[in-house]
Structure 1
């Protein structure tokens, strides 16, 4: 699958319009969510301070804990003295104040609350230090080779760095596999504590960019202005990672430039067979046929000029010899744009068909003879 995606990504050639994009930030990257294809990059591996964009990883680990059943949205967290001691952006938690996971997620996503980020970290891992170990482990699993986390918030700390490339990787993991995070990242204004605490999203894209879905801002004196901005149009979601932009306004302008380029240039096409795939006969199997299914890689990211007129052809094996394992390749669906082959998607066995045993074959022959008589 990884090889197939690599081939697919290689088919996408960035045009002169991508190279001509004017981005004020020294480091930036544009990625498509479904395929992970990089559509634009500028010094994307520079190791820089991410400020509160760090919290994308904090959110990811919290959502993974929720999905695993370790936490629920209704879990009540009691704020520790350590969590309440955080500086920077916060909702001013009081020691021993209680708040649900859901409300703390809202505070982190909307106003980048450092106190809530640490409270969530402590709930997930027992301490912020243990949580940071999990953050770095998860970063390595995701291939975030430019990243070292020192805390759960992004507050200034020596050696706490990541890159635009790695921000896109963890952002993709969050929005691809935990889409429920949108219930918080798309909030523009809301309240906590029964209306006593007012929240306004630090991500201006949510209000001012069509299709914006999130994700996280960050800024400190050294990091300057950072952003992971996500948006979806026509079934395609893009991630714009911006680091060290000179001003807050400019990071949003850079993100809009990248997102606008992606939406105007590319389209995501979900390929399905034009006709139902017929069963493939199985020789010496416990059943006569096996049902083929389309394999992974059926989501194609293409330049819009190519996506407008796609054709497909199916090549399917006349038969398969048992045993057949689910996932064995039975054929190929080829997608073309004009004379150009843009993808070859494997057609796989959708089920396992064991080889018939001698005893089963003997019984089958007896039954056939009996019915014939």
Structure 2
């Protein structure tokens, strides 16, 4: 775009500020056998159904959602690489329960360890990758708890990386939905959690067959994750996610009596979400959201574009025209720092704010100098782009 000869393309950083509480409607009869449950829209974070959602319970292997999140973030930050070979310690190899039977001194890639965690719920793989990232599992657990605090997970405290029974290790259905939603911001994770079966050590004389502990991956349309859990204390637990068209839902149940009922009740929760709601797209990825002039800025104009699809959750049959969009700017002038909020997009219905997205600068904007202002004036005079 040509305007006063100066323009930069600033991507939109999206923060959903909507009120993440259940819609004020009669609660559906869902998850009747679960001790606690949450149904969440993954895009907005809206709660569609909840039952004892903040009760602190043992999460069992659902703990590994946080472990996988820290793995994905370490990869994004360049701290580790997919092809890195991880040496297995005595401690990691000694883990009981679900495992891929790692041997002390064995080396396995980050990719295969994550596959073992996501598909087979491998406790040994969880400890091995935790030690690789943080040096010790104890330090990794500190990172897990730090990340939980950053995500506002007030009902959670971790004592290990894999969810094996331990004192002072608990979470809630709500917190699990929150960290599941955060993990899903890394779309490549579903290439692991959505696999029903695969093999490790393929080139060895004894390949190890992996079968996903989450059977809904195979039997429920659209399910591509995330994590099961079971201990005698926690009973049968699951955080599941499914996508249909533009809508993605997260269903969490804790304390189910058996796997069959767990899968049935999660399926009913997902059915409810997809039958009752739909996702209405407000902006497609790359759409122009707004332009803003920065007084005394160099450059003078910024452009905000959606860096991912942005939309709202509405009831099926509801008229999207009932929702209104407004851009609210903050008073700002140069210099502007990267990450500074310049305004917000507000979506409302009948005068009630439904969702807000912040408009954030993704770069520093300097105060214009005499020389830059002089060049700008010349461009205006001579119509130079």
TM-score, L = length of structure 1: 0.82
Q: 2:260 matched to 1:245?
A: no
CA distance 1:333–1:112, change in 2 (3 Å):
closer
Corresponding residue for residue 55 of structure 2: 46
Deviation of residue 13 (structure 1)? 2.5
Corresponding residue for residue 218 of structure 2: 207
Q: Distance in 2 between the 1:131 and 1:140 partners?
A: 14
User: How large is the RMSD of aligned CA atoms in angstroms?
Assistant: 3.8
Relative contact order higher in (CA < 8 Å, ≥ 6 apart): 2
Give matches, 1:316-355, under 5 Å. 328-329=342-343
Deviation of residue 15 (structure 1)? 2.9
Higher helix share: 1
Deviation of residue 335 (structure 1)? 5.8
Q: Match for 2:85 among 76, 79, 88?
A: 76
Corresponding residue for residue 271 of structure 1: 282
Please identify, of 57-66 and 212-221, the stretch whose mean Cα deviation from structure 2 is larger. Answer: 57-66
Where structure 2 has 5 or more consecutive residues not aligned to the other structure, the ranges are 1-11
Q: Match for 2:118 among 109, 119, 123?
A: 109
Q: Match for 1:180 among 161, 174, 188?
A: 188
Question: Higher Cα Rg: structure 1 or 2?
Answer: 1
Corresponding residue for residue 189 of structure 1: 197
Contact kept, 8 Å, 1:110 with 1:188, in 2: the verdict is yes
CA distance 1:276–1:168, change in 2 (3 Å):
closer
Q: Match for 1:259 among 244, 249, 270?
A: 270
Deviations 1:101-156, CA, capped at 9 Å, x for gaps = 11111111111111111111111111111111111111111111111111111111
Q: Distance in 2 between the 1:73 and 1:367 partners?
A: 49
Deviation of residue 304 (structure 1)? 2.2
Deviations 1:68-104, CA, capped at 9 Å, x for gaps = 1121111111211111111111111111112111111
Q: Distance in 1 between the 2:316 and 2:162 partners?
A: 39
Q: 2:226 matched to 1:224?
A: no
CA distance 1:53–1:341, change in 2 (3 Å):
closer
Q: Distance in 2 between the 1:361 and 1:105 partners?
A: 53
CA distance 1:206–1:129, change in 2 (3 Å):
same
For the residue of structure 2 that corresponds to 1:56, the secondary structure is helix
Deviation of residue 42 (structure 1)? 0.5
Where structure 1 has 5 or more consecutive residues not aligned to the other structure, the ranges are none
Q: Match for 1:100 among 98, 109, 113?
A: 109
Q: Match for 1:123 among 117, 132, 138?
A: 132
Contact kept, 8 Å, 2:226 with 2:241, in 1: the verdict is yes
Q: Distance in 1 between the 2:144 and 2:313 partners?
A: 30
TM-score, L = length of structure 2: 0.79
